[in-house]
Structure 1
Amino acid sequence: MDELTPFWERPLASLDRAQWEALCDGCGKCCLHKVEDEDTGHIYPTNVACRLLDTHTARCADYRHRRALVPDCLRLTQGNVGSIAWLPSTCAYRLRAEGRSLPDWHHLRTGSHAAMHAGGHSVIGRVISEVHAGPIENHIIEEEL
């Protein structure tokens, strides 16, 4: 790879912090709660978003302090991204960790998050905040959003 190769096509280990952060789709899918079956370990997706996720923009309301406000918020790193099986199949971090390309709708390819939202690749209009959800078990969905 040379300096003309876009950073998002380079190995994850070569990215600086700003490039790593820019790789994020901004879809909000990783901010959805999951339910794990204690007997089987199977993880079920839900349509319930973390209380910090703005369900109208798919952005964290306090990204900088999210871990202090939500202690179990997972910080994705170059070291752990390849081992988190529940990451959405469209997640840029997951795709790049698997050596695959970003989807055509990704903002780094299009220059805008609008294509992702318009194409239904984010959680906008499809989730409820945990603040209003009630029992999370009532919000298990068949497939990931």
Structure 2
Amino acid sequence: MTEKIPFWKTTSLKDMTREQWESLCDGCGRCCLHKFREDETDEILWTNVGCRLLDKETCRCKDYEKRHKRIRDCITLTPELLEETDWLPASCAYRLLRDGFDLPKWHPLVSGSFDTIHESGASVRQRFINERYVDIIEDYITDWPGKWPETAKVQE
């Protein structure tokens, strides 16, 4: 009996269907945290301040289909945009596949469960503050969102 090879190993990012592309999001919520680009060094400065539509438990958008109407600067990641993007977190599936790596074991497509992203410590669950409760976002700069999750095992 032959084991079926997962689509992300056989299909380029540019050739994926919308459903395949969307399923690559592991629901970590890290990309929905506010970030800044440092003027002098061009470094990405991460915060632990999340978009007001980011759900604290699921780490997914509360209004994904209408998010662009509610959040004017919300970005829709596309294969074309991905080529130029340097602000995705280190553990992001889109970034990993773009850079020639496989999906981590906690990814729902690998594990079969949306819970593993949270169990691994790779999500922002209970680790961010909603932007509605913040006066000065720059006061919440931290580095963990841009790094490989400390509690998650490195890919084997």
TM-score with structure 1 setting the length: 0.92
In 1, Cα distance between equivalents of 2:8 and 2:113 = 15
Q: Which string of whole-angstrom CA distances, capped at 9 and with x for unpartnered residues, describes residues 62-85 of structure 1?
A: 000111111111110011113211
Q: Which runs of 5+ in 2 are unaligned?
A: 147-156
Of 74-83 and 36-45, more deviation after overlay is shown by 36-45
Q: Is the 8 A contact 1:30 1:88 kept in 2?
A: yes
Q: How far 1:59 sits from its partner (Å)?
A: 1.0
Residue 142 of structure 1: aligned partner:
143
Which letter maps to 1:104? K
- TM-score, length of structure 2 as denominator length: 0.86
Task: Indicate whether 1:48 and 2:45 are aligned.
Answer: no
> Where do 5+ consecutive residues of structure 1 fail to align?
none
**Structure 2 residue 139 is the aligned partner of structure 1 residue 117:** no
1:62-114 Cα distance to aligned partner (Å, 9 max, x none): 00011111111111001111321110010001111112100011100110011
Shift of 1:42: 2.4
Q: Count matched residues.
A: 142
What RMSD, in angstroms, separates the aligned Cα atoms of the two structures? Answer: 1.3
- CA deviations on 1:7-31 (whole Å, 9 max, x unpaired) are 1223212210011111111111100
Aligned equivalents of 2:66, 2:142: Cα separation in 1? 29
Match of 1:59 in 2: 60
Give the superposition deviation at 1:142: 2.9
Q: What's the counterpart of residue 30 of structure 1?
A: 31
Q: Which amino acid aligns with 2:67?
A: R
Equivalent residue number for residue 7 of structure 1: 7
